[in-house]
C-alpha cells in the first residue's frame, strides 16, 4: 500500500528566509503524481505545486520549488523569500491512476510558522 | 475566478440527525471527490464521481453515508444517522477529468460537529 510521510509536524522560518519541508513516500507504482497543498487558517486547500513522476526536472512555481528524488522516494518543498502569508499547514499528497481508479494519499501535514 | 463551493460552511447537529452537505463543482469539471479531514486520520478520500457516476466509494462507511450527484452542478454527501465520530471537516474537490493529467481543486469545506 502507498504511504506518505511528513516527519516534521511543525517548522518555523524567519520572514525573507528559505525553508524546506520534507516528504517521503512509498509505492511500487512507476507512474504517479505528487503534490503540495497549502491549508491556511481559512481551511481552504490550495494547490501549491505538482510533479509528474516521469519528469526528471523539478517543478517550480515562483518562490516554491521541489526537490524530487524518485529513487529515494523523496519530495521536498522549498519556499524561498518566505512571507507572512506563507504561514499555513502544508500537505504532501500522492496520486496514482491505475485501471481507471484514482488513489489519493495525503501526509499528516507540516505546520509552517513565519516569524516577522 | 472559478471555485468549488460548499454549503453549509459549518454545521452543528445532534447525534441521530440526518446531515446533508452540498458541493457545486467548477463549471465544466466532470470529476468530483469527497474527502474527510480529522486530526487523527488526516485527509481521507471517501468517494469520487466521474460524469456523475460513482467510480469508487470504498473509503466511505456504507451503512450511514451516501454520496450522489443529482446533476452535473451538484454533489451531495449525506450522513444518516450521524454520530459524534463523524465530526470532521468534509471537503469536496473537482477536476477536469482528463485521466492522468487532471488537477483537483478543493472547496472551503464543511465543518461538521455532531454532539
Taking the C-alpha atoms of residue B3 and residue A92, their distance in angstroms, rounded to an integer, is: 22
Question: Is the preceding peptide bond at B8 cis, omega within 30 degrees of 0?
Answer: yes
Give the CA distances from residue B86 to residues A33, A39, A67, A107, B81, in Å, rounded to whole numbers and listed in that order.
30, 21, 37, 21, 10
Using alpha carbons, select from A24, A36, A2 the residue that is nearest to residue A70. A24
Among residues B35, B36, B37, B75, the alpha carbon closest in space to that of B54 is found at B75
Taking CA atoms, what residue in A is nearest to B39? A108
The domains of chain B, with CATH numbers, are: 5-106 (2.60.40.10)
- Show me where the domains of chain A are located: 3-115
Q: B13-59 pLDDT, tens per residue? A: 999 999 999 999 999 998 999 999 998 888 999 999 989 998 888 88
* pLDDT, tens only, B92-109: 999 986 655 578 899 999
Q: Answer whether A36's CB lies under 8 Å from A66's CB.
A: yes
Cα–Cα distance measured from residue A31 to residue B78, given in angstroms and rounded to the nearest whole number:
34
Residues on chain B touching A31 (C-beta within 8 angstroms): 100
A3 touches chain B (CB under 8 A): no
The answer to whether the CB atoms of A43 and B89 lie below 8 A apart is yes
Residues 6+ apart with CB under 8 A from A54: A31
**Would you state the cell numbers that stand for residue B82, as one nine-digit string?**
450521524
Alpha helices in A17-99 (DSSP H): none
CA pair distance B15, A22, nearest whole angstrom? 39
> Would you state the pLDDT for residue B101?
58
Going residue by residue through chain A, which has 116 residues, state the pLDDT in tens, using 9 for 90 and above.
789 999 999 999 999 999 999 999 999 888 899 999 999 998 989 999 999 998 889 999 999 999 999 999 999 999 999 999 999 999 999 998 777 777 889 999 999 999 99
A11/chain B closest Cα distance in angstroms: 18
Distance from CA of B17 to the nearest CA of A (A): 25
B22 touches chain A (CB under 8 A): no
Smallest CA-to-CA distance from B10 within B113, B115, B114 is with B113
Q: Do B33 and A97 touch (CB under 8 A)?
A: no
CATH class of A3-115: mainly beta
Q: What is the per-residue burial (b if ≥16 Cβ within 10 Å, else e) of B7-44?
A: eeeebebeeeeebebbbbbbeebbbbbbbbbeeeebbb
Which residues in chain B are contacts of A45 at CB distance < 8 A? Answer: 91, 93, 106, 109
Task: Please tell me the distance from the alpha carbon of residue B103 to that of residue B91, in angstroms, as a whole number.
Answer: 15
- State which residue of chain A sits closest to B9, comparing Cα positions: A43
Place of cell 523539478: A58
Mean predicted confidence (pLDDT) in B62-75? 94
Alpha carbon B114 to its chain's center: 17
Amino acid at each position: 500500500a502507498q504511504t506518505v510521510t511528513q516527519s516534521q509536524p511543525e517548522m518555523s522560518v524567519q520572514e525573507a528566509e528559505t525553508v524546506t519541508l520534507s516528504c517521503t513516500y512509498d509505492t511500487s507504482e512507476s507512474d504517479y503524481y505528487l503534490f503540495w497543498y497549502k491549508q491556511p487558517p481559512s481551511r481552504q486547500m490550495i494547490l501549491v505545486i505538482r510533479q509528474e513522476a516521469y519528469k526528471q526536472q523539478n517543478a517550480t512555481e515562483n518562490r516554491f520549488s521541489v526537490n524530487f528524488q524518485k529513487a529515494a522516494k523523496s519530495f521536498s518543498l522549498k519556499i524561498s523569500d518566505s512571507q507572512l502569508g506563507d504561514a499555513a499547514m502544508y500537505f504532501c499528497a500522492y496520486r496514482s491512476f491505475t485501471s481507471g481508479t484514482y488513489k489519493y494519499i495525503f501526509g499528516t501535514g507540516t505546520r509552517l510558522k513565519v516569524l516577522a | 475566478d472559478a471555485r468549488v463551493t460548499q454549503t453549509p460552511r459549518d454545521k452543528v447537529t445532534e447525534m441521530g440527525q440526518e446531515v446533508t452537505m452540498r458541493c457545486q463543482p467548477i463549471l465544466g469539471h466532470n470529476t468530483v471527490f469527497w474527502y474527510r479531514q480529522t486530526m487523527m486520520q488526516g485527509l481521507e478520500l471517501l468517494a469520487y464521481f466521474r460524469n456523475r457516476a460513482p467510480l469508487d466509494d470504498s473509503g466511505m462507511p456504507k451503512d450511514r453515508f451516501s454520496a450522489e450527484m443529482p446533476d452535473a452542478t451538484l454533489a451531495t454527501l449525506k450522513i444518516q444517522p450521524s454520530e459524534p465520530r463523524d465530526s470532521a471537516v468534509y471537503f469536496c474537490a473537482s477536476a477536469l477529468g482528463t485521466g492522468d493529467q487532471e488537477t483537483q481543486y478543493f472547496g472551503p469545506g464543511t465543518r461538521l460537529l455532531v454532539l
